[in-house]
Amino acid sequence: MYAQMVKSTGQGVKSRDEMSAEERDFQDKVDADIRIEPRDWMPEGYKKTLIRQIGQHAHSEIVGQLPEGNWITRAPTLERKMILLAKVQDEAGHGLYLYCAAETLGVTRDEMTEMLLSGKMKYSSIFNYPTLTWADIGAVGWLVDGAAIMNQVPLQRTSYGPYARAMVRICKEESFHQRQGYDIMMRMARGSEAQKRMAQDALNRFWYPSLMMFGPSDANSVHSEQSMAWKIKINTNDELRQKFVDQTVPQAEYLGLSVPDENLKWNEEKGGYDFSEPDWDEFFDVLRGAGPGNTQRLTDRQKAWEDGAWVREGLMAHAEKKAARKVAAE
């Protein structure tokens, strides 16, 4: 049932005249910034869009542990190892808050996991790129968590209560993640020539995939118009991408690294940088499952799901026994 629910809803935004009385009341609440809670009436499309977005977001947090988890055993010092371990554990926590938020809409975590593993639900394109060197861990924290914060801070004001509340804690933790990534980059960029080269190489490889995290350009975004009318999204994809570039370029300059874009130029008139678009063909290839790491990531998640079966079965057996004891005692 939910496999159908996550299919695109992009069929244009209804005018007030086209709305039913319930839909009008709902839209009035959203327009007045009154939070929508799980027991409130909501249009089916609103629910579908939330399940798609929150589910995709939760999967991203879980799959997103893989490229960094891969480096825990190889972190250069005990301190770096402890920090990275804590960060990766935080990402697991984010996934759990988000699965719980999605569950308030009537879909189970198992259903969402099955849709991820069968390819019916997505996760962020960025996690299909490999982390080849220690500097990549710095670039992921700085750029990937930096892009995530840019997108997630406005989501603290999203219209659906459980999603907005999950975002508050997630954003606090993401700020620490971004800072630890920048700290790694700073050490590398101010280290030996070889370390500086590694830092530049990581920036070169992660720059455009990070820009892609914000989704397709506004002209090609299927869901933005309706999602913004429902305040599921607060900004368009291009608005957030621009803010990210404007914030990140001075940070790269401070590191003494160059952003790999010949067209990057401050535009006084718009008060922001002009920059090159990412290769959108590459983005859509990654979405179709043909990115450099798609197969590996899904194989790893499939294995984790199968390896965890005994834990789920044990918990269920315990819960059933407890319930049976309670019935017997009554």
Instruction: Please name every residue paired with 266 in a beta bridge, in sequence order, or none if there are none.
Output: 273
CA nearest 213: which of 155, 268, 134, 140?
140
Using the rule CB under 6 A, is 178 a contact of ligand BYC? no
272 DSSP β-pair partners: 267
Q: How far is the CB of 329 from ligand BYC (least distance, A)?
A: 44
Closest CB to ligand BYC among 23 and 285? Answer: 285
Size of the site for ligand BYC (CB under 6 A): 29
- What tokens were used for 171? 């954003």
Binding segment toward ligand BYC, per CB under 6 A, in 56-64, 78-86, 101-109, 315-323: 56-64
Task: Write the CA distances from 209 to 39, 116, 130, 133, integer angstroms.
Answer: 38, 21, 11, 17
Work out whether 136 is an interface residue with ligand BYC (CB under 6 A): no
Q: Is 278 in the site for ligand BYC (CB under 6 A)?
A: no
Q: Which of 5, 84, 137, 144 binds ligand BYC (CB under 6 A)?
A: 144
Token pair, residue 103, equals 């569950």
Element (H, E) at 303: helix 294-307
Can residue 221 be called a binding residue for ligand BYC (CB under 6 A)?
yes
C-beta of 104: minimal distance to ligand BYC in Å? 17
Asked if 226 is part of the footprint of ligand BYC (rule: CB under 6 A), the reply reads: no
Per-residue exposure over 88-110, b if at least 16 CB sit within 10 Å of its own CB, e if not: bebbeebbebbbebbbbbebebe
From the list 24-32, 119-127, 305-313, 319-327, the region that binds ligand BYC by CB under 6 A is 119-127
User: Under the criterion CB under 6 A, does residue 80 sit at the interface with ligand BYC?
Assistant: no
Residue 206 Cα to chain centre, angstroms? 16
125 touching ligand BYC, by CB under 6 A? yes
Q: Does residue 124 touch ligand BYC according to CB under 6 A? A: yes
- The verdict on 213 binding ligand BYC (CB under 6 A) reads yes
| CB-count exposure of residue 63 (10 Å: 0-12, 13-18, 19+) | buried
CB of 264 to ligand BYC, least distance (A): 21
Q: Which of residues 4-23 bind ligand BYC (CB under 6 A)?
A: 8
Q: Figure out which of the listed residues 27, 113, 133, 224 binds ligand BYC, where binding follows CB under 6 A.
A: 224
Q: Is 77 exposed, middle or buried (0-12, 13-18, 19+ CB in 10 A)?
A: exposed
CA pair distance 224, 237, nearest whole angstrom: 8
Among 48, 80, 122, 297, binds ligand BYC (CB under 6 A): 122
- Considering the rule CB under 6 A, would residue 57 count as an interface residue with ligand BYC? yes
CB of 123 to ligand BYC, least distance (A): 7
**Which residue is listed with tokens 């005692």?**
329
Using DSSP, state whether 9 is helix, strand or coil. Answer: coil
**Site membership for ligand BYC, residue 64 (CB under 6 A):** yes
Burial of residue 187 (CB within 10 Å: 0-12, 13-18, 19+) is: middle
- In angstroms, the CA 112 to CA 109 distance is 5
Q: Work out which of 45, 130, 216, 272 binds ligand BYC, going by CB under 6 A.
A: 216
Stretch of 27-35, 54-62, 247-255, 303-311 lying at the interface with ligand BYC (CB under 6 A): 54-62
Distance CA 245, CA 5 (A): 34
Rg, C-alpha atoms of the chain = 21
Distance CA 152, CA 171 (A): 7
- In the complex, the residues that contact ligand BYC under the rule CB under 6 A are 8, 52-53, 56-57, 60-61, 64, 91, 122, 124-125, 144-145, 148, 151, 212-216, 221-224, 227, 233, 237, 287
